[in-house]
Amino acid sequence: MSDLRVDGPAGAPVVVLSNALGTSIELWDAQLPALRDYRVVRYEHPALDSVTALGSELLGALDAVGIERFSFCGLSLGGMVGMELAADAPERVERLVIVATAARFGEPEDWHAKAALVREQGMKAVAEDALDRWFTTGFAGREPFRAMQLACAPDDYALGLEAIGDFDFRTRLADVKAPTLVVVGRHDSATTPQDARGIADGIDGTRLVTIEGAAHLPNVERAAEFNRELVDHLPEPPGSGLSRRPRT
């Protein structure tokens, strides 16, 4: 993985940010000011067809830059990667934030059919539908995300679709032991509040937050609310002076 990007002060707690399929690391631009006291890792998903392979590739990249222990915040496909890492490498994951994702995301055949469509017709066949799911009606900031979608290589995107379709974590939720925050947009029709509740019910001690006025990308539509919840959940950087609610 050659495109790992690491920003922030050396020695600070590490936070890995993992994208939704069809987005780039700019997905997290609105989070960077709130995470200024953290060592922030962002990356692009490699072209692999399973969540397990995506997680293994990421761990290898983190090893290569000397990062052993980290908190993880993943959105949609990124959330799937986070759940799997927290279960398979619990000694690595300090805190987990799962955003707009599901333990099971529809039927495999539907995702494989969508992958075939993308390989045949390109990203224009799916980009507009994705935007309608990502944002509430009337949200004005769609254009950069349309460009992200259209910039994806169809074959790479299709592999990601197949990874999502083959993912089923429902029987493994109890294996996640890291303190976990689950975040969902109230109007998310892709990974619904019911999907989020299923994850929260399956992972012991999880806190579930529903963000009003947001769909599948709550970190974009309601960045201030999202950032507050994110920072409150993460380990506090020494001497940061960050204002946060008391933990319960």
CATH number at residue 213: 3.40.50.1820
Burial class of residue 109, CB neighbours in 10 A (0-12, 13-18, 19+): exposed
Does pLDDT of 151 surpass 90?
A: yes
Read off the pLDDT of residues 162-186 as tens digits, 9 standing for 90 and up: 999 999 999 999 999 999 999 999 9
Q: What pLDDT was estimated at residue 193? A: 98
Does pLDDT of 245 surpass 60?
A: no
Mean pLDDT for 128-133 is 92
61: containing domain: 5-104+169-233
The answer to whether residues 182 and 195 touch, using CB atoms and an 8 Å cutoff, is no
Q: What pLDDT was estimated at residue 123? A: 97
The reply to whether 97 falls in a domain is yes
Q: Is 184 helix (H, G, I), strand (E, B) or coil?
A: strand
Q: What pLDDT was estimated at residue 238? A: 81
Q: How far apart are CA 124 and CA 139, in angstroms?
A: 20
Mean pLDDT for 128-134 is 93
The reply to whether 54 falls in a domain is yes
The reply to whether 144 falls in a domain is no
φ/ψ of 209, rounded to 5, equals -125, 125
Q: What value, to the nearest 5°, has the Cα angle with vertex 186 and ends 181 and 188? A: 95
The four Cα atoms 245, 176, 193, 46 give a dihedral, to 10 degrees, of 100
Mean pLDDT for 80-86 is 98
The reply to whether 39 falls in a domain is yes
Residues 6+ apart with CB under 8 A from 5: 25, 41, 42, 43
Does pLDDT of 196 surpass 60?
A: yes
Mean pLDDT for 60-87 is 98
Q: How far apart are CA 20 and CA 14, in angstroms?
A: 20
- Per the structure, the count of domains in the chain is 1
The reply to whether 128 falls in a domain is no
The reply to whether 70 falls in a domain is yes
Phi-psi region of 86 (alpha: psi -120 to 50; beta: other; left: phi over 0): alpha
Percent of the chain with pLDDT over 70: 95
Q: How far apart are CA 17 and CA 15, in angstroms?
A: 6
Average pLDDT, the chain: 95
Q: Is 68 helix (H, G, I), strand (E, B) or coil?
A: coil
Mean pLDDT for 2-7 is 86
Q: What pLDDT was estimated at residue 246? A: 45
**Strand spans (E) along 25-162:** 39-42, 70-75, 93-99
pLDDT-based confidence at 3, cuts 50/70/90? confident
The reply to whether 76 falls in a domain is yes
Q: What pLDDT was estimated at residue 247? A: 45
The reply to whether 227 falls in a domain is yes
